[in-house]
Amino acid sequence: MSKNIIKKIKLRIEPLGKERIVNKGTPLKDIIFEYGVEFPCGGKGFCGGCKVKLLSGDVKDPEKHEKLNHKLGLDSEYRLACISELVEDITIEIPQLESLILADNTPFAFYPLDGFGIAVDIGTTTIVAQLIDLSTSQVLDVQTSRNPQARYGSDIMSRILHGLTEEGSKESKILIREEVYRLITLLVDGRNITLKKIVLVGNSVMHHLFCGFDVKPLSMYPFETVNNESVEYSPEDLNWAIDKDVKIIFIRPIASFIGSDIYAGIIASGMDKTQNLTVLIDLGTNGEIVIGNSEKMLCASTAAGPAFEGTNIQMGMSAMSGAISSVNLNNSQIDYHVIGNNEALGICGSGLIDAVAVFLQNGKIDAGGALVKKDVNLKIGEKVYLTQKDVREFQLAKGALAAGLQILVNKLDKSLADITHLFIAGGFGNFINLKNVTQLGMLEINENKIHKLGNSALIGAKMLLFTDDYTFENVLSKIEHIPLDADEGFQDIFVDKMFF
């Protein structure tokens, strides 16, 4: 009797440098989905957004791909991942990962410890886990994946809504715990190491969903967290089959919508250790701001995030393949860059900022934000444009951010000119044009004082592997949360800051 032997295929993925051994016949999309690759048309072969470049080998049925490439205007070296089947050893490069998930290796001061640790940043969209040698602080490996809760919606509100029922809360908790565990096993499997500690950070909703806390109070005014404590787990508590002595800790939120990702950012920026007036801004799902120094810090959450993530923008999309990520004026002509060098399908946050700046520059938008030619959309690419409502959404986001910063500065009896450093955290911050950000009045400080910090949550989580005090009283006692909407001057300042 002959046995059916399944042939194994070696798949190498660039620029991640990952190698996977998979069964012959495996759909490529099943593998690269784990690395956060998106399939804009739902994997129907229409958009080309999932294209991968062949560096060696090929997928099944190259002729079919050639025909589709022709239709989509792609070079012959590309294959559509959504319809690719793996049949031989192959190396691919994924243009979507050009805007690489930020997995930082920034050096920092530390006391060497024995063993190894894992720092995990649980983002609403992406999870990043780094394996660290605690004796050297060196990053040995990094694993990233898309947050599996995204199947319940990409924005934070839909995650909260899903978590409102008992069943939804349980599902969200299991999904995220299993996914983090999967990344951990990918980091440690095959390595002869002693894992000592795992530190997790995330926004308050991620904290609550992972820990299984009630998210209902986060769904309605005054949007409170039910638990602001760091939660320590044993591997057994989480059903994780790793050494029983590994200490696992999810760092506490600072306040309702100010999560431990921001706390980790404070640690990463060093603002808790300096006398200089320093600002940390995370333009993620909410626009969080922290301002202060080693003596006192104020933090607030603004409604600045969604527009910069493409929400409420007619052709808005996240920073993925097909998104216009930057716009310039070149001899009066509009020039733009599309992530993945693909056909432009929409515009992401960094592109939105640039586009508004360009249309102000060429006089298509006035200082109040009105389109000079009423009811004529502002064309950027062949199919991508901004509407009057998009510009208004941008103004609301910019107004909220600038007003938030102004109010916090006022509360410290300082002026914007007193700020010595402003750190922008998060993936989005890495791609924005600082000149446009300052000229549009989103951040009213000198461009030279602004620094891009990268994935500050992950840097901070890594630094927190080297501490044992998870109450953080020494820092948290200096942080005050300011509810901006309760400030009587907010409305006036907000309206004022909406103008260009």
Q: How far is the CB of 84 from ligand FES (least distance, A)?
A: 9
Binders of ligand FES among residues 31 to 50 (CB under 6 A) are 39-41, 43-50
The correct pick among 28, 31, 32, 80 for binding ligand FES (CB under 6 A) is 80
Q: How far is the CB of 278 from ligand FES (least distance, A)?
A: 42
Q: How far is the CB of 47 from ligand FES (least distance, A)?
A: 4
Token pair of 469, please? 């005090």
Contact 99, 427 (CB under 8 A): yes
Contact 281, 288 (CB under 8 A): yes
Identity of the residue, 47 or 120, whose beta carbon is nearer to ligand FES in the bound complex = 47
Identity of the residue, 65 or 449, whose beta carbon is nearer to ligand FES in the bound complex = 65
Q: How far is the CB of 387 from ligand FES (least distance, A)?
A: 25
Q: Should residue 82 be labelled a site residue for ligand FES when binding is judged by CB under 6 A?
A: yes
Q: What span, in angstroms and rounded, lies between the C-alpha atoms of 253 and 83?
A: 42
Q: How far is the CB of 40 from ligand FES (least distance, A)?
A: 5
Identity of the residue, 44 or 67, whose beta carbon is nearer to ligand FES in the bound complex = 44
Identity of the residue, 45 or 441, whose beta carbon is nearer to ligand FES in the bound complex = 45
Identity of the residue, 69 or 125, whose beta carbon is nearer to ligand FES in the bound complex = 69
Identity of the residue, 47 or 352, whose beta carbon is nearer to ligand FES in the bound complex = 47
Identity of the residue, 80 or 378, whose beta carbon is nearer to ligand FES in the bound complex = 80
**What is the bridge-based pairing of β-strands 78-80 and 126-133?**
unpaired
Q: How far is the CB of 28 from ligand FES (least distance, A)?
A: 10
Q: How far is the CB of 124 from ligand FES (least distance, A)?
A: 22
Q: What span, in angstroms and rounded, lies between the C-alpha atoms of 480 and 437?
A: 27
Token pair of 279, please? 């600002």
Q: How far is the CB of 340 from ligand FES (least distance, A)?
A: 12
Identity of the residue, 344 or 396, whose beta carbon is nearer to ligand FES in the bound complex = 344
Q: Which residue is nearest to ligand FES (CB)?
A: 82
Residues of this chain that bind ligand FES (CB under 6 A): 39-41, 43-50, 80, 82
